[in-house]
Amino acid sequence: MEFEAQAPAAERPKVIAAWLLALCAMVFAMVVLGGVTRLTHAGLSMVEWKPVTAWLPPLAEAEWQEAFRNYRRFPEYKDLNPDMTLSGFKSIFWLEYAHRLWGRLIGVAFLVPFAFFVVRGWVDRRLAAKLIPVFVLGAFQGLLGWYMVQSGLVDRPDVSQYRLTAHLGAAFVIYGYMLWVALGLLLPGPAGRRPPAAFGRFAYLVAGSVLVTVLSGGLVAGLDAGFAYNTFPLMDGELVPAALFAMDPFLVNFFEDIATVQFTHRLFALLVLAAVGVFWLRARNAGLAPRGRVALDVLAVTAAGQVALGISTLLLVVPVPLAAAHQGGALALFTAALWTAYELRPAAGRRKGRRPAG
């Protein structure tokens, strides 16, 4: 810490960038852990939310009995786990406890170094304006997580797919925002000649499309739609299944109909893969800077790997390790897409319709 406090001014942005990247790694782990928690139905095991006081788990036998008694009051126990023992309850409780504790540790890992950087004068107003939203978004994410859990404590033992998707999307937004700020600190200048502006715009479009696909995957998870139509490329023996759009009104199908939601997610994933493939073919001979070429190569490999993971998860009927890897793969693909967008971003002057100075 003493070394960091005396770091030359030119090195300080790199230290802050490394801190943000470490936070990104923690959020990455949080997303995967959250996927495992959902897949094992552990997310509804903690039926109270005490973000400030409840850092410790139950320790005494009486505390465990009280926690289990609270759990038995809600639909998940009554409808799904009426024969669960205290031992079985502990196995799911620990996953959700780890998930919530890790979220709190992320908050500490943000606040303590941030305070240090501010006290040492490493953070000017411009950088503070970029970093404060991270804390605001993180606090909002905690509230959103509890709002999601509450939806599974009412009349059915499942959280709302809308709230689950919002919670997942918020995690990706927080991660992406921190990554973008870190890249700006770590790699502030262009790496060689700027690519054509159209490449930068298309890279933004790909990153946005990846996020939309992730959100559609959140709906698949929330509806347990991955446990239906476990064939590929056909669904129920057809490329376009007859079961689509069975609900009324029409728009509800895209959010609540299992067949439509799964079909839409498949379609988005394949469109992203096709877009990345075309992008890679068009850009590989465009004279990109070395960093931009590497980013684009990583994007292409990650997109292909993520689609392969998704298909495997579907065909094997959502085994927990593979499904968790697929969720982590989505964040890896989003990372590659953002990095590519950063490397190929148009120059500031061209974004405003001017020639860049110099």
The residue segments making up the domain with residue 80 are 1-188
Asked if pLDDT for residue 358 goes beyond 50, the answer is no
Q: What is the mean pLDDT of residues 250-272?
A: 97
Query: Range with the lowest mean pLDDT among 104-118, 225-239, 259-273, 285-299?
Result: 285-299
Average predicted confidence (pLDDT) for the chain: 91
What's the rounded Cα separation, in Å, for the pair 196 and 99?
Answer: 43
What's the rounded Cα separation, in Å, for the pair 194 and 142?
Answer: 40
Same domain, 112 and 250: no
User: 343 versus 347: which is more confidently predicted?
Assistant: 343
Same domain, 169 and 203: no
pLDDT for the residue numbered 351: 46
What's the rounded Cα separation, in Å, for the pair 300 and 18?
Answer: 25
Confidence bin at 3 (pLDDT 50/70/90): very low
Other Cβ atoms closer than 10 A to 46 = 22
Indicate the number of domains in the chain.
2
Query: Range with the lowest mean pLDDT among 256-260, 285-289, 292-296, 304-308?
Result: 285-289
Same domain, 15 and 150: yes
Confidence bin at 207 (pLDDT 50/70/90): very high
pLDDT for the residue numbered 41: 87
Same domain, 160 and 65: yes
Confidence bin at 129 (pLDDT 50/70/90): very high
**Structural domain ending residue among the three candidates 164, 188, 212:** 188
Asked if pLDDT for residue 72 goes beyond 70, the answer is yes
pLDDT for the residue numbered 120: 92
Share of the chain above pLDDT 70, in %: 92
Confidence bin at 135 (pLDDT 50/70/90): very high
Q: What is the mean pLDDT of residues 136-163?
A: 91
Confidence bin at 287 (pLDDT 50/70/90): confident
Same domain, 163 and 243: no
pLDDT tens digits, one per residue of 27-61: 999 999 999 999 998 988 888 877 766 678 899 99
- The label of the residue with tokens 């802050």 reads 16
Confidence bin at 193 (pLDDT 50/70/90): low
Q: What is the mean pLDDT of residues 120-147?
A: 93
Asked if 17 and 186 count as a contact pair (C-beta separation under 8 A), the reply is yes
Same domain, 224 and 355: yes
Same domain, 24 and 145: yes
**Structural domain ending residue among the three candidates 170, 188, 206:** 188
Asked if pLDDT for residue 348 goes beyond 70, the answer is no
pLDDT tens digits, one per residue of 171-190: 999 999 999 999 999 987 76
Q: What is the mean pLDDT of residues 287-299?
A: 92
pLDDT for the residue numbered 6: 58
Confidence bin at 353 (pLDDT 50/70/90): very low
In 3D space, the residue among 174, 161, 334, 339 whose CA is nearest the CA of residue 252 turns out to be 161
Exposed, middle or buried: residue 73 (CB in 10 Å: 0-12, 13-18, 19+)?
Answer: exposed
Same domain, 196 and 175: no
pTM of the model: 0.91
**Structural domain ending residue among the three candidates 122, 153, 188:** 188
Same domain, 179 and 214: no
pLDDT for the residue numbered 51: 72
What's the rounded Cα separation, in Å, for the pair 356 and 358?
Answer: 6
Same domain, 342 and 241: yes
